[in-house]
Structure 1
């Protein structure tokens, strides 16, 4: 039996235990195309859709890829997905099997679309996304407690140990973000649970304008501004739009807080560049997509760090 055939068999076994799914004609098929570059969509876990032909119902099944152990805390990711489900800001979780790395959720398919940069031009959508993040941040700490600066150190060691193909100035970028980490270390912050992934393709938007956050694989307990920063760097190409969104949702503009969020966004680019490089070196999936994705995140990080405004923002974080 092929690997995909074995996965389908495993999915079928899990689905068989769900109410209403134990009998009938069940079709299991790939749900969405997997694309690392530019959106990192479906990379962490292969996405399947199971359809009950007898009644037309469907559910979404995420099967974590073997690469997940390189960069994901699966128990924490599943914990976060369940909490988001309970809060109504993520798809409803039907079954979570951490041991097998299988997460079964409601299928937000018809009437829902993946977030795009164009939708981020709509203040109501952006405000709904940020409100969902704030709601999640109000909960108890998650089991994982690593922030972006911790992960930069971890993935830099992992990428260099794997002899990953990284830019020649990576050591300099890491040093610059270490300097930022040291500055942030002197601040009084309260870590909270965060989604931790600002990719707009991890937002589902309904035809009625509701939003759901998906892919909780970077969830952790960290500074809430890290969550905002990872979102702002992905959602807005220009600082004025990011500034407007930040001020609108904070109630008033706090320059120090905004600067911290922006620097977190720069750090997030470096982290993802290192993750992409690590997977390009170690994944069994023979594709250039990981390298392409890493190259873009390294480039955007480099551009931001070289900007005079980076140093100015770092001087104004308190």
Structure 2
């Protein structure tokens, strides 16, 4: 059940006629700890609605967790990926996740800028002149405090499942953290929403507002494009690398 890129193993296990999901992380894994924290602190609004799995067992030291198994099939690559109703439900669920808590973080922007500058110092295929321009751009950005909320970190169809009744549920909390709400809009904006306004409109309708209407959205998209291009080059994910390079080019054209 795992994607095979990170050192996390995911198994579907039947025990005494009950189906559960077991996740185990390798020595360098950081996702299990994030997922355990998310289940313990932030998933309750979705669990209470039956839209996320309940945590059954967790061991931080062993990098192991067990959750309920959710019914349904992945939205990604299925017919529901084209249905605006899927996105309306996903927007509604995201609003419930984001709406439970707000934390002011005075260091988020500075930390995010340091991380993305570090990516630019690693091997990548961003043209040298563009990389130099990106460095200058990032260093010019304001680093004011921001409001962070519980975010999923990979909110898109590959982490949604849908059952035969058309109910959408959310899986895989391995990138969850406190971040600005924009974080959970970026991957859809650069992927499933491109050229498909009906999906975007349905998602915003479900969410109830559009937090992208701020200057911070440009900074978020630029950092995300750089990170995607550099990370995917390091891990050999060509499709994601091309998306990241496209996002970088769009950001530079807009700057």
Using CA pairs under 8 Å that are at least 6 residues apart, name the structure with larger relative contact order, 1 or 2.
Answer: 2
Unaligned 5+ segments in structure 2 are none
Q: Take 1:275 and 1:183, find their aligned partners in 2: how far apart are those partners?
A: 22
Moved more, 263-272 or 191-200: 263-272
- 1:64 counterpart = 2:64: no
Return closer, same or farther for 1:242/1:56 CA change in 2, 3 Å cut-off.
closer
Return closer, same or farther for 1:115/1:267 CA change in 2, 3 Å cut-off.
farther
Residue 175 of structure 1, CA deviation: 4.9
Which residue of structure 1 lines up, in the alignment, with residue 98 of structure 2?
137
Which residue of structure 2 lines up, in the alignment, with residue 121 of structure 1?
82
- 1:93 counterpart = 2:62: no
Tell me the secondary structure at the aligned position of residue 191 of structure 2: helix
Residue 199 of structure 1, CA deviation: 3.8
For the 8 Å contact 1:59–1:104, the answer to whether it is kept is: yes
Q: Write the mapping of 1:1-318 to structure 2, written as runs, cut at 5 A.
A: 32=1, 34-36=3-5, 43=6, 45-52=8-15, 55-69=16-30, 72=31, 74-87=32-45, 88=47, 89-108=51-70, 111-116=71-76, 118-140=79-101, 150-151=111-112, 153-154=114-115, 157=118, 160=121, 165-169=123-127, 172-173=130-131, 175-176=133-134, 179=137, 182-183=140-141, 185=143, 189-238=146-195, 240-241=197-198, 243-245=200-202, 247-249=204-206, 251=208, 256-257=213-214, 261=217, 264-278=220-234, 290-291=235-236, 293=237, 295-307=238-250, 311-312=253-254
Q: TM-score, structure 1 length as denominator? A: 0.63
Residue 62 of structure 1, CA deviation: 0.5
Q: Take 1:101 and 1:58, find their aligned partners in 2: how far apart are those partners?
A: 20
For the 8 Å contact 2:84–2:198, the answer to whether it is kept is: no
Residue 218 of structure 1, CA deviation: 1.7
Higher normalized helix content (fraction of residues): 1
Larger Rg: 1
Return closer, same or farther for 1:141/1:250 CA change in 2, 3 Å cut-off.
closer
Q: Take 2:168 and 2:203, find their aligned partners in 1: how far apart are those partners?
A: 18
Tell me the secondary structure at the aligned position of residue 63 of structure 1: strand
Unaligned 5+ segments in structure 1 are 1-31, 37-42, 279-289
Q: Take 1:141 and 1:99, find their aligned partners in 2: how far apart are those partners?
A: 29
Tell me the secondary structure at the aligned position of residue 234 of structure 1: coil
User: How many residue pairs are counted as aligned between the two chains?
Assistant: 249
CA distances 1:40-61 after superposition (whole Å, capped 9, x unpaired): xxx3520112222xx4222110
